């Protein structure tokens, strides 16, 4: 059996010139800006043009582009290598990458999948917490593109893993030394930072906030520090929206 595993994520600009179109694609997503198409297009043009100069300066500080694709490629290569070790005779697993707002777009990934013709497709989000603005947004576009390309392979998707032990252990291992170092100077406060979404989306049923809180609770448990002074912070507001 041939299985295609799709690692998907937000994506990021690969050059200073890509920053504005990347931002436009982000804000033109109906899952992000929930307005009629013409209004959303105008808002996306306005927001991306205003934010691009500042974002370009920030990206310049880390080399001029986002590291997300290179890091995702490392994950894809490592996963494919692990799958080879456990593959049954006659089975072949290949790992592909798809990004939502910049190359390689979902369209590019679908084209590769069509050529390879797998028997099964597994959609693996690199968003541990589910949100309608991330996981659901990608799954919606993937479904449309796969249908258009005539992909009929059995397809399944992983929803989320906000408290998956391997993920939590990895984060805890990175956090613990920093806490121990900070304790030498007093009682530390740990800030858990997550990307923000409009509060009204959460009120409407988006589970993202609860999933973030599940992740933090699981990390504290793994650290055996239930009384650790900590806060959950959300970043990247758009306008005055709470």
* Residue appearing with tokens 């806490």: 179
Cα–Cα distance for residue pair 96/146, rounded to 1 Å: 14
Cα–Cα distance for residue pair 3/14, rounded to 1 Å: 29
pLDDT band for position 226 (50/70/90)? confident
What's the whole-number average pLDDT of the chain? 95
Strand positions, DSSP E, 76-175: 92-99, 120-125, 154-157
pLDDT band for position 170 (50/70/90)? very high
Q: Domains in the chain, please, with CATH?
A: 1-160 (3.40.50.1400), 165-235 (no CATH)
Q: Taking 90 as the threshold, does the pLDDT of residue 60 lie above it?
A: yes
Cα–Cα distance for residue pair 237/242, rounded to 1 Å: 8
Binning the chain into helix, strand and coil, the percentages to the nearest 5 are 50, 15, 35
Is this structure's pTM higher than 0.85?
A: yes
């Amino acid at each position: 059996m041939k299985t295609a595993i799709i690692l998907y994520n937000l994506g990021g600009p690969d050059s200073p010139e890509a920053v504005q179109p990347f931002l436009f694609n982000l804000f033109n997503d109906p899952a992000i800006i929930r307005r009629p198409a013409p209004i959303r297009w105008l808002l996306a043009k306005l927001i991306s043009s205003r934010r691009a100069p500042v974002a370009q300066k920030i990206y310049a500080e880390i080399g001029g582009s986002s590291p997300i694709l290179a890091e995702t490629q490392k994950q894809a290569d490592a996963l494919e290598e692990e799958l080879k070790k456990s593959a049954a005779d006659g089975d072949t697993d290949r790992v592909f990458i798809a990004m939502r707002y910049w190359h390689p777009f979902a369209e590019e990934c679908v084209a590769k999948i069509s050529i390879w013709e797998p028997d099964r497709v597994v959609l693996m989000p690199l968003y541990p917490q589910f949100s309608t603005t991330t996981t659901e947004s990608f799954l919606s576009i993937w479904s449309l593109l796969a249908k258009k390309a005539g992909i009929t392979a059995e397809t399944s998707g992983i929803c989320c893993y906000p408290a998956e032990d391997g993920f939590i252990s990895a984060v805890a291992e990175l956090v613990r030394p920093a806490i121990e170092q900070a304790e030498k100077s007093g009682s530390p406060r740990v800030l858990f930072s997550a990307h923000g979404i409009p509060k009204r989306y959460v009120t409407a049923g988006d589970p993202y906030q609860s999933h973030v809180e599940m992740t933090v609770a699981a990390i504290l448990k793994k650290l055996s520090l239930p009384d650790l002074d900590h806060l959950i912070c959300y970043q990247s507001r758009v306008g005055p929206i709470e």
